[in-house]
Each structure stands twice: as C-alpha cells, then as structure tokens.
Amino acid sequence: MANEVLEKLGTPVVWADTTDYSSTGSGYTRTAQLDLTSLANTLGREGAKVDLGATRAAKYSIHVGMEIDVAPTAGTVVEVYFSWSASATAATGNDGGATGSDASYMSGDATNTSEFKKQLDGPYLLVLTADAAPTVQRQMIGTLRALQRYVSPVVVNSAGQAFEGDAVEMYVALVPIIDEIQ
C-alpha cells in the first residue's frame, strides 16, 4: 500500500503587542513582540526576530489582523514583508535594513521605507474594505517558504489612514504547514 503525504498545522508564531493584544478575536496566542499602535500612513513597523528552529516547516501560511482608525478607501492595502537572517543576533544579517527588534522600520523615514522594503520577502497584501475601527480586518494573505532560520515581520501602512490607537486586535502570524508521511 502506498504512503500518503498529508499536511498538518504546527504551532503558530504570532507577533503582537505584549501590553495590548488580546487573543479573543483571533484565537492566536502571542509569542513575539510587534506593536502596531497608531502606525501612520506610509510608515513601517518591524517585529522582533524569531527563531523558527534548526529543523522547521518548509512552508507557512501568513495570517494577519489589522484595525484602521478611520475608514480607509476600499481596495487600499497593508503590506506585510519578512526580513530573513542566518543570525540569532537582533542587529546582525537582516534583509532590507531591518533591526530584528520591535521598532519603527527605517527609523520612521517614509523614503527609506519605500526603498528598503524592496529588499524584503514580499509584499503580502491585506486588501482593505472601507471599514474603520472597531472592525478588525483579518485574512490569510499568502504562504511562504522559510528562507532562513530567523525571521522578523515588517508591516507597511499603505491604507491612507493611521492604524487604531491601541494594538488589541492587531497581529501577524506564521502558521507552519508540516508535511507528514502516513
């Protein structure tokens, strides 16, 4: 009898804010730091570098939850990127000028953000509806292949409006998709 290769989901890596995040709406437990509070239009924010492990899933699904303060124009986007690294050290070996820490991406400089984000893995896009807070826009926005052991997310706000003034519902999650021979 032939074996089947099936897929199962592993434990998600979830970037969210330690002071505000609640898993009530998403069902995801926070595992790493990313504070998206009041992220201004055209700017980016990066999360802490995470170790996916020496042995890891080859493929991950990307899930996000974002809350825009004022209703954006339908069809605008939130861009999500990933900075890969072979080093566990936060400030070492990161793609696209990322620091590997929860911080403003490119020190809050919109011109540098626009240039350096092109060196990152992505974009993965959350296409927005014209709904403001308290509506949280959640979507699985793609799948990716793990390119290195360490990774940090970078979120760039292209919504035309700032994000909500708290980060209660906002997150970026990588969910491992594990191949299993049965």
Phi-psi region of 90 (alpha: psi -120 to 50; beta: other; left: phi over 0): alpha
Rounded CA gap, 119 and 121, in Å?
Answer: 7
Farthest-apart Cα atoms in the chain, separation: 59
Whether 1 has a pLDDT exceeding 70, the answer reads no
Whether 122 has a pLDDT exceeding 80, the answer reads yes
Whether 64 has a pLDDT exceeding 80, the answer reads yes
pLDDT digits (tens, 9 = 90+) for 123-147: 999 999 999 999 999 999 999 999 9
Tell me how many degrees the CA angle 153-134-24 measures, rounded to the nearest 5. Answer: 65
The identity of residue 71, as a single letter, is: A
pTM of the model: 0.95
